[in-house]
């Protein structure tokens, strides 16, 4: 415990935090640049898209993308930190003073767990809210364009059946997990499954028992197109049903997941993906600690012994294999072939035990 609070422990923890946050900031800037270039390409023909608005949209989209790379940021940051300490012989001095590897790893582990708690409880809800803001800004930019239509037959789909017949709704963009839609095309059929009309709308909102469309153009087989400011389409869908169709587990924040899982279960929807996401977020602090263990197992070798490049490559390779394992367990869990708790914690256990055993062999073997 003294190693976590003394000067040397704070020094090791500070070096790790600077390295990890430096990697995080570098990848963030790179992703913002790439996403901004892609958004400029997509909005090049839109008069409503200013350069500042496009930049803000990219800035709000990237945090959720970067959240998936947080374990690799910690892995690379820890490797960078330990390799720099080893190259400057600071680890040699620490060992000569009687400090074992377990002692100067413990401050880094504590920082990794603290970063994981922050990422789960603060960064995840923030990235989800920013993602919703980016969707709203995208809706403003693309709302003036000809939304819907057969040429845009992609994005989000939902089907509803009422006493009035069937309606198939396609939306280019979704906000609030499907409660607000932009760029819509609706294909309506009568109770006998005969085509009735096609509706194009700028936006729509789900209200109590109805969809309220705005900026509407209606097409039928026998009459010319009719433009309307608003149009009401009755529905039996509830917000929970729509959210289950339009949302993904990554777009629901950590604090909303328990209520979302309960409401989906009561509506009879599958919740395996959302349970997995919830347990992955709970396990995230320990996953970051496991990444530190992996980084330490390949980065504590002294430069004068040689083979540092091979050790670094082995660390990157082990991180990649751990990522593959997490994707396999994630797919198995979403297919309900594996318990979500086991799928979320298996990569943590494998990574942590691998790093621990390698360090144990190097230090005490």
Predicted confidence (pLDDT) per residue in 35-75, tens digit: 888 888 888 777 767 788 888 888 888 998 888 889 999 99
The pLDDT of 287-298, averaged and rounded, is 89
Residue 204, beta-bridge partner list? 181, 213
Q: Is the pLDDT of residue 175 over 80?
A: no
How much is the mean pLDDT over the chain?
Answer: 82
Distance CA 200, CA 179 (A): 17
Q: Higher model confidence: residue 175 or residue 284?
A: 284
Q: Higher model confidence: residue 35 or residue 148?
A: 35
| pLDDT tens per residue across span 336-362 | 888 999 999 999 999 989 888 888 887
% pLDDT > 90, the chain: 23
Q: Higher model confidence: residue 191 or residue 179?
A: 191
pLDDT for 136: 77
The pLDDT of 247-262, averaged and rounded, is 81
pLDDT for 300: 74
Q: Higher model confidence: residue 138 or residue 127?
A: 127
Residue 168, beta-bridge partner list? 159, 187
Q: Is the pLDDT of residue 2 over 80?
A: no
pLDDT for 307: 64
Q: Is the pLDDT of residue 1 over 50?
A: no
Q: Which of 196-200, 302-306, 332-336 has the lowest mean pLDDT?
A: 302-306
pLDDT for 210: 87
% pLDDT > 70, the chain: 87
198: alpha, beta or left? (left if phi > 0; alpha if psi -120 to 50)? beta
pLDDT for 149: 34
pLDDT for 291: 92
pLDDT for 151: 35
pLDDT for 302: 62
Q: Is the pLDDT of residue 196 over 50?
A: yes
pLDDT for 289: 93
Q: Is the pLDDT of residue 90 over 90?
A: no
């Amino acid at each position: 415990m003294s190693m976590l609070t003394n000067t040397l422990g704070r020094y090791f923890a500070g070096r790790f935090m600077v390295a990890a946050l430096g990697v995080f900031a570098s990848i963030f800037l790179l992703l913002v640049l790439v996403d901004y270039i892609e958004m400029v390409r997509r909005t090049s023909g839109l008069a409503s898209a200013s350069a500042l608005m496009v930049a803000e949209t990219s800035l709000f989209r990237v945090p959720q993308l970067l959240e998936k790379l947080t374990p690799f940021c910690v892995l690379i940051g820890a490797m960078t930190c330990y390799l720099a300490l080893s190259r400057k012989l600071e680890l040699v001095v620490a060992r000569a003073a009687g400090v074992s590897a377990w002692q100067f790893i413990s401050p880094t582990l504590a920082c990794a767990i603290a970063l994981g708690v922050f990422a789960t409880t603060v960064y995840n809800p923030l990235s989800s809210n920013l993602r919703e803001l980016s969707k709203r800004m995208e809706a403003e930019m693309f709302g003036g364009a000809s939304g819907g239509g057969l040429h845009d037959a992609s994005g989000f789909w939902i089907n509803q059946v009422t006493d009035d017949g069937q309606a198939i709704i396609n939306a280019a963009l979704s906000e609030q997990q499907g409660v607000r839609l932009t760029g819509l095309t609706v294909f309506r059929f009568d109770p006998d499954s005969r085509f009735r009309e096609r509706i194009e709308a700028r936006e729509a909102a789900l209200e109590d028992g109805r969809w309220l469309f705005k900026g509407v153009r209606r097409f039928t087989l026998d009459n010319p197109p009719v433009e309307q400011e608003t149009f009401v389409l009755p529905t039996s869908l509830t917000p929970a049903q729509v959210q289950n169709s339009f949302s993904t587990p990554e777009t629901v924040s950590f604090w909303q997941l328990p209520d979302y899982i309960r409401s989906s279960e009561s509506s009879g929807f599958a919740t395996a993906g959302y349970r997995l996401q919830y347990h992955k977020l709970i396990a995230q602090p320990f996953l970051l600690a496991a990444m530190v263990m992996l980084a330490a197992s390949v980065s504590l070798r002294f430069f004068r012994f040689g083979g540092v490049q091979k050790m670094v490559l082995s660390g990157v390779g082990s991180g990649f294999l751990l990522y593959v394992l997490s994707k396999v367990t994630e797919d198995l869990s979403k297919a309900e072939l594996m318990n979500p708790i086991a799928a979320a914690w298996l990569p943590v256990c494998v990574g942590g035990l691998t790093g621990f055993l390698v360090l144990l062999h190097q230090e005490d073997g």
